[in-house]
Structures are given as structure tokens and as C-alpha cells.
């Protein structure tokens, strides 16, 4: 199911990222009278103006330009992948399963630490890992239990944040790729001007590439940054709730003794 969601998201992004084909050159309207005839004759004798569509800009951007566009499309695909992955990761049901909380609470009310530890093993996850770290040191005293839980919580927090960081990485790289495409397009444009009589069509394509890459990079970066901070804030809230829930579940360990068979 997860692979299907990612595949559909990438296909949707491909259609969204390809803008509608728009031409920059328009034929001038013919004026009435002799001036209109002269304009029509000059238009027929003039060389055809290159199309400024998105596909033409990409095809005419050179080897480096095509490589940059492939990198931008790859960044767009990774942004969708990491967004879906973070949406799956930062969920209450995944971090703090309700069934696990109920089972551990019932086991602790019965004073059965081994059963609570078994419940954590049956439902692995961030909360289960933190609780397991505490239950594994139940014979060493409450202070050791708290230290083990704090260490495990920090480790789970780092794991979650590492996944979220990839969204920030894509959000930072995308505008840099767009800026590099802008620089490359402007270099080609000024090289065209330096050659004497400039080719207006090629000059327009070079400038279009510079603008298209900038717009593409920002289009990827802005949602990535917004989604990253949204998921990060949600993750911080869930982590604090998880730590509070853990302390609530282990508070009875002060007087609980493990009876080994």
C-alpha cells in the first residue's frame, strides 16, 4: 500500500511540475493599408522564431541544463517520498498506540512487569522501545529506570528527527539547483550577446531557462520547508506526550518487585 501511494504521488507530481506549454512569441496583427502589407511581407521573409515552451527550454538548455533539470525533478520526487514517509512516521497511532497503552496500564495495575514487557515486545514502536528500556532495569532501582527511559527517549527522538531532516535537506537543495540553473542560463545568454548580432530566439530561451529553473526550485523548496516545520512541531508534541505517558506508566515501579518463576 505504501509503495502504491508513493507511485501515485510521483505520477501526480510529474503532471503538476510540467507547466502548460506557453509560447512567448506571438505573430503581430496585420495593420490595414500599405503598412500592413509591408509588415506581412517582412514577417514572411523573417526566420521562424523558436518556441519558448517548457519542453523547448529543457531541450535547448544543453547537457548541463538537462542534468540540472533531472536533478530538480529528482528533488521533487524525493520531496513527495519524504513527505509521505514523514506523514506515516509522525502519527499518534504509530508513536503511541492506544492498544499498547491500555495493555501496559492493565499489566501495571496487576503488578505484572513481565506481562507489560511482553506487551511491548508484541507491539514494537517508539513508546514500546522506551518502556522496554525501563522495564528491563526494574531490578536496579527507580533512578536507573528513569535514566534508561531518558536515554531511550532521546534515541527515539533522534530517529524520528533524522527522517524529518531529509525534508529540510531537499528544501535547501532545491533552490540551490534552481540558482545554478539561473546562473547557467545567464551565462549562455551573455555568451550569445558577446558573439555580435544576438540570436533573439536563443537569447529568449536562455533567459527562460534561468527563470524556469528558479521557479521550479522555489516551487519545491517552499512546500518542503512548510511541511518540515509542521511535522517537526507535531513530532515534538508527540514526543513530549510520549515521555509524560511513559513516566505515568512506570510510576508504580517504585514498589513493584519482579517475581521470577
Does 86 score more than 60 pLDDT? yes
Please, which pLDDT band fits residue 255 given cuts at 50, 70 and 90? low
Q: What is the pLDDT of residues 91-100, one digit of tens each?
A: 888 888 888 8
CB 94 within 8 A of CB 125: yes
- Can you tell me the distance from the alpha carbon of 37 to that of 114, in angstroms, rounded to the nearest whole number? 96
pLDDT, mean of residues 68-96? 90
Decide if pLDDT at 133 tops 70: yes
Cα–Cα distance list, 171 to 64, 76, 88, 110, 175 (Å): 22, 10, 19, 50, 7
In this prediction, residue 221 has a pLDDT band, given cuts at 50, 70 and 90, of very high
Q: How far apart, in whole angstroms, are the C-alpha atoms of residue 79 and residue 166? A: 9
pLDDT (mean) for 231-250: 85
pLDDT > 60? residue 29: no
- Please, what's the b/e burial string for 81-99 (b: 16 or more CB within 10 A of its CB; e: otherwise)? bbbbbbeebbeeeebbbee
Per-domain residue ranges of the chain: 2-6+69-254
pLDDT of 231 higher than 90:
yes
Is 197's pLDDT higher than 90? no
More confident residue, 22 or 44: 44
Q: Mean pLDDT, the chain, as a whole number?
A: 75
Amino acid at each position: 500500500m505504501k509503495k502504491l501511494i508513493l507511485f501515485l504521488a510521483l505520477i501526480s507530481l510529474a503532471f503538476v511540475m510540467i507547466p502548460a506549454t506557453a509560447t512567448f512569441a506571438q505573430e503581430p496583427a496585420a495593420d490595414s493599408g500599405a503598412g500592413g502589407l509591408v509588415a506581412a511581407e517582412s514577417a514572411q521573409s523573417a526566420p521562424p522564431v523558436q518556441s519558448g515552451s517548457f519542453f523547448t527550454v529543457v531541450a535547448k538548455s544543453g547537457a548541463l541544463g538537462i542534468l540540472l533539470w533531472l536533478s530538480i525533478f529528482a528533488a521533487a520526487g524525493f520531496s513527495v517520498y519524504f513527505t509521505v514517509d514523514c506523514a506515516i512516521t509522525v502519527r499518534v497511532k504509530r508513536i503511541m498506540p492506544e492498544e499498547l497503552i491500555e495493555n501496559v496500564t492493565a499489566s501495571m495495575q496487576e503488578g505484572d512487569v513481565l506481562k507489560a514487557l511482553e506487551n511491548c515486545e508484541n507491539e514494537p514502536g517508539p513508546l514500546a522501545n522506551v518502556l522496554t528500556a525501563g522495564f528491563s532495569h526494574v531490578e536496579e532501582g527507580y533512578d536507573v529506570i528513569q535514566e534508561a527511559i531518558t536515554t531511550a527517549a532521546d534515541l527515539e527522538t533522534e530517529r524520528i528527527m533524522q527522517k524529518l531532516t531529509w525534508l529540510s535537506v531537499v528544501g535547501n537543495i532545491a533552490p540551490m539547483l534552481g540558482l545554478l540553473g539561473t546562473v547557467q542560463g545567464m551565462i549562455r545568454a551573455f555568451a550569445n550577446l558577446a558573439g555580435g548580432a544576438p540570436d533573439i530566439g536563443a537569447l529568449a530561451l536562455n533567459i527562460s531557462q534561468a527563470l524556469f529553473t528558479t521557479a521550479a526550485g522555489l516551487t519545491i523548496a517552499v512546500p518542503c520547508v512548510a511541511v518540515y516545520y509542521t511535522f517537526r512541531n507535531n513530532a515534538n508534541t508527540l514526543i513530549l506526550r510520549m515521555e509524560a505517558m511513559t513516566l505515568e506508566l512506570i510510576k508504580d515501579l517504585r514498589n513493584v518487585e519482579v517475581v521470577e518463576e
